[in-house]
Amino acid sequence: MGTDDDLETTTAQLREAGCVAAREEAAELVEAAGGDVARLRELVARRCSGEPLAWLIGSVRFCGETVFVCPGVFVPRRQSERLALEAVARLPEHGLAVDLCTGAGAIAVVLARRRPLARVVASEIDPLAVECARTNRVEVFEGDMTASLPAELLGQVDVVTAVVPYVPTGELRFLARDVLAYEPRRALDGGEAGTVLLARAALEAAPLLRSGGSLLLELGGDEADLLRPVLAENGYREVELLVDEEGDPRALFGRH
Ligand SMILES: C[S@@+](CC[C@H](N)C(=O)[O-])C[C@H]1O[C@@H](n2cnc3c(N)ncnc32)[C@H](O)[C@@H]1O
């Protein structure tokens, strides 16, 4: 355990480095250091240089669940929590869900914890993220989008979720400096219009879904307008747009 002095000093260092939630983060780092002064110094230096807090303390809270996050793996975002909860609402008690591009597995974790009798399967291309998702006890298949998923899932799935990389390549430079410096580009870059993997997710989820099953795609900017025709072409109906508190598009849902 750290002392009050550790907490005060760490808070001041983080504030000086421009950290917005300096006190809360300081408390997390002091706890993670477990009273080891050298370790605390190292963690503070890494945080001040912009390394994600989740990598330093080893986890993040997502929909109230603790999700382990390994260094090098995309940190699950608070903005994805609503999509995860919408997916839970659409998943029957004994249902089947697939989380594409699962990363550390946060959405799969929420689905599995809230629907313990359902089967939740995930895919992910990055071996480091696959390992991390397995630490979170996610049944994850390593591979490109749906390529490695078992054939037995075809036509059986109630819910497919996908938080794919969707930042247009030309807009990557507008991301926060720390995100660009640390988080893997492969987790962010969605190609020229940002929709390359979104369109693939819609296309490849269609044969997995049972009749009436749901697809939930996180997106941003004008991507919903670009994706609507793709959803229509692939047999999705009842397409709904989810907007955030600022009225910005955050996700597109459709039924197959
Ligand atoms: C924006 S991150 C989201 C991760 C996770 N869904 C979440 O919300 O925390 C996108 C993830 O997609 C993975 N990815 C990128 N291209 C992929 C592909 N072709 N097939 C499967 N996963 C892919 C990345 O490695 C990364 O983990």
**What pLDDT, in 10s, does the model give residues 172-222?**
999 999 999 999 999 999 999 999 999 999 999 999 999 999 999 999 999
**C-beta of 126 in contact with ligand 1 (< 6 A):** yes
CA–CA gap between residue 108 and residue 99 (Å, rounded): 6
**C-beta of 84 in contact with ligand 1 (< 6 A):** no
Banded model confidence at residue 145, pLDDT cuts 50, 70, 90: very high
CA of 145 to the centre of ligand 1 (A): 9
CA of 242 to the centre of ligand 1 (A): 20
Is-contact 198 219, C-beta < 8 A? Answer: yes
Within 10 A of 122 (CB to CB), how many other CB atoms are there? 29
For 78-255, CATH number out of 3.40.50.150, 3.30.420.270, 3.10.450.40, 3.40.50.10470 equals 3.40.50.150
Domain boundaries, the chain: 4-49, 78-255
**C-beta of 123 in contact with ligand 1 (< 6 A):** yes
**C-beta of 52 in contact with ligand 1 (< 6 A):** no
pLDDT at 138 > cutoff 90: yes
Mutate to test the pocket of ligand 1, among 59, 101, 128 (most ligand atoms within 8 A of CB): 101
- pLDDT digit string (tens) for 78-105? 999 999 999 999 999 999 999 999 999 9
Within 10 A of 205 (CB to CB), how many other CB atoms are there? 27
pTM summary value: 0.96
Banded model confidence at residue 227, pLDDT cuts 50, 70, 90: very high
Q: Taking Cα atoms as reference points, which of 117, 206, 104 lies closest to residue 160?
A: 206
Is-contact 70 131, C-beta < 8 A? Answer: yes
CA–CA gap between residue 102 and residue 162 (Å, rounded): 8
Give the nearest ligand 1 atom to 144 CA: 20
Residues 6+ apart with CB under 8 A from 196: 190
Residues 6+ apart with CB under 8 A from 241: 224, 249, 251, 252
